[in-house]
Amino acid sequence: MNRFAIKAGLGACVLGASVLIPAQASAEPAATATGTELSGMTVFLDPGHQGSSEGHDLAQQVNDGRGNTKDCQTSGMTSLGGVPEHTINWNVSQLVKSSLESLGAKVVLSRQDDTGWGGCVDERARAASESNADVAVSIHADSTAQGEDASKHGFHMIIPSLPIPDEKADAAQSGGGLEASKMMRDAYKSDGFVPANYAGVNDGLQTRADVAGPALTQVPLVFVEMGNGSNKEDSAQLESTDGQLKHAITITTGIVTYLLTGSQSAPAEELAAAPAATTTTPEASEDSASSTTTTTPKATTPKVTPQSTAPESAEFSELMEMLAPLLEVEGLDGLEDLVNDKNLGLVSELASTLMAVITGAGGN
């Protein structure tokens, strides 16, 4: 079986929709993933922040990777609906973890629960480096105000300013880290998410020199800000199990696309096109950034759910069986009920998006 057929089958299976993807007319029929396609690969997942900082000093100064220091950790934002960022990040990471493991990948977490301490930012970076992961993904949600901020919305990837003093970190982030970040950005855009319209973000990328994680991590790192918890539409999606599932599918798509097609030697041309945040941009939350500046543009809804038709009962049963590893995640009670005709259409469209990415990457 050629590499295209394997990738096509994996792309369909990881999104739980292989029953809906027709075989390519000029290629071998897509294979059903066996659960071993990512064997031998390691992914480090960092669900930002932690459930409790009891007994720890958040203001303790730690190495920022550029010869200075910064706070050990922050508590993270709280969405407009009162959901703490650490829980949003945890829920999404658990869905991604389950999906990757169902394909044979080894997944290492920066923290093991959503109740206790999660470690300082330098400790998480060290854990990522020591994991020797093929890629690390730090999952966060942003905020720009204490209350509602209707003018700012959207996702972005934080890219470190280059060069990074540590040679190994610089090589990892200027090569595979940048490439993986761009692939994750593309997955978000292809899935209908809108790039952030604030803090110097250029087409979904924000260049920063004040975030310690990327400057200290010696494996390729993607730093995802899923949306702005101060924006009504973004917040509603981040809070809901339905929205968390959509983010998890997109993040999984970005990771799998990189693991299967990434050269890990991407040039840094796009960094020049993505301006660094100005001095008025707030310090990163490795841990979510926060700003109180306001602008006038009206927010737009960041996600449009594609239309679909109700599935046949046999297809629905098969889909549920394939989605089981993704859905049976502790702490997300009732997620199984989300697989309805609307979500079936969403998953099918995402699978088609990944297929298009894989097809464009080349054949045999």
| Burial group, residue 244, by CB count within 10 angstroms (0-12, 13-18, 19+) | buried
Pick the catalytic residue from 225, 233, 286, 349: 225
Position 119 in a domain: yes
Q: How confident is the model at residue 44 (pLDDT cuts 50, 70, 90)?
A: very high
Position 285 in a domain: no
Length of the chain: 364
The per-residue pLDDT for range 72-124, each reduced to its tens digit, is: 999 999 999 999 999 999 999 999 999 999 989 999 999 999 999 999 999 99
**pLDDT higher than 70, residue 310:** no
Position 147 in a domain: yes
Residue 147's CATH number? 3.40.630.40
Look at residue 339 in the predicted model and tell me its pLDDT: 41
Q: How confident is the model at residue 161 (pLDDT cuts 50, 70, 90)?
A: very high
Position 359 in a domain: no
Query: What's the number of domains the chain is made of?
Result: 1
Position 33 in a domain: no
Helices and strands of the chain, counted as H and E runs: 11, 8
The per-residue pLDDT for range 230-276, each reduced to its tens digit, is: 999 999 999 999 999 999 999 999 999 999 998 643 344 444 444 44
Position 275 in a domain: no
Per the structure, the complete domain to which residue 125 belongs is given by 42-263
Position 343 in a domain: no
Position 291 in a domain: no
Q: Is 225 a catalytic residue?
A: yes
**Closest to 7 (Cα-Cα) out of 97, 95, 103, 102:** 103
Q: CA dist 136 to 77, 181, 212, 214, 321, Å?
A: 22, 10, 14, 10, 28
